[in-house]
Amino acid sequence: MTLSISKVQNWIEEDLQNFYQSYPSTPLFEPIQYLLKIGGKRIRPALVLLSHQLFNEKPENARPAALAIEVFHNFTLMHDDIMDKAPLRRGQATVHERYNTNTAILSGDAMMIQAYQLLMKNPCHDQHQLIELFNQKALEVCIGQDLDMSFEGRNDVTVKEYLEMIRLKTAVLVGCAMKMGALVACASKENQDHLYACGEEMGLAFQLMDDYLDAFGNPETVGKQTGGDILADKKTYLYLQLLSRATQEEKNKLQSPFSTPEEKVSTVKEWMRYYKIDEEVKSIANQYSQSAIEHLQAVDCHTEKKEPLIHLVKQLLERQA
């Protein structure tokens, strides 16, 4: 039986609800319940389960791992929001805004511990290998976040450095999710490696499309006002490519105050279109997406079991602009 994405998503929401309801609504755990309740795409846990079902028809075996990676992901969001001084997460007040910074730090720490508790519940033949994988990728996520913060004070960031940063901060955890599913299912190392590569390429495509949608997406479809990265002078792929191609006059204007935020967004988007950077970033995201599908097709299992994963890869890239 091939699992559908909707079935997997229902399991994830059910498991998350059972998870946060198992803890009391105390000052430590209430923020965790709050963050998990406000939703999310749940991509990573879905990838754990969909990767596992390629090799094993007992999906319940992988549900603790799926839950672990979603709890860890939300821990990173809780702490990232503190570092970014972000007021909103998914349209709701961030944890440090709703409660306070100290509570958000401590609740985030608790989530990290909970992720490991969940990971220990997996009936895996090699628990040590599972935890070693999780440890390595969790550390790489931290390295990626550190790089991202360091970029804020630099004016010499390269596109190569940016791609490495998003690989670490975003893509490695997507790859980890897929490899964890295969590992719990006792898949071969070759299949595990193909799934990890698939996830990493998918994560890169996803982040580049996020960059594109932040600038050029339809606000009603994207769910937020576009142009936020431009206003924040965030060093995205689009911004860095613009700096590498802009005239000195354009660079000077870019680094000077605009009369209104609206003028800045419209002007910068006009330049990006002029230099065809908007089309370029979509093309590169598509290349990563195609590479992800190629790795998935190389996995040795029944072809029809791959369909939900192929559909998800395409869905992430084809998000409406």
pLDDT of residue 27: 94
Is residue 314 scored above 90 in pLDDT? no
pLDDT of residue 319: 67
> Could you tell me the residue ranges of all domains in the chain?
5-317
At 210-268, the pLDDT tens digits run 999 999 987 766 656 689 899 989 999 999 999 999 999 999 999 899 999 999 999 99
User: Is the C-alpha dihedral spanning 103, 108, 113, 117 positive or negative?
Assistant: positive
pLDDT of residue 316: 77
Q: Please give the average per-residue pLDDT across 165-194, as a whole number.
A: 97
Q: Please give the average per-residue pLDDT across 63-82, as a whole number.
A: 96
CB 184 within 8 A of CB 55: no
The domain 5-317 is placed in CATH, from the list 2.30.130.10, 1.10.600.10, 2.40.50.100, 1.10.10.10, at 1.10.600.10
* Residue 68 C-alpha from the chain's centroid: 15
At 30-44, the pLDDT tens digits run 999 999 999 888 999
Buried/exposed 189-206: b ≥16 CB within 10 Å, e otherwise: eebbbbbbbbbbbbbbbb
Which tokens in the block code for residue 118? 């969940």
- pTM for the predicted model, two decimal places: 0.94
Is residue 64 scored above 60 in pLDDT? yes
C-alpha distance from residue 94 to each of 30, 87, 304 (Å): 13, 6, 41
Picking from 139, 145, 27, the residue whose alpha carbon sits closest to that of residue 79 is: 145
Q: Which amino acid is at 93?
A: A
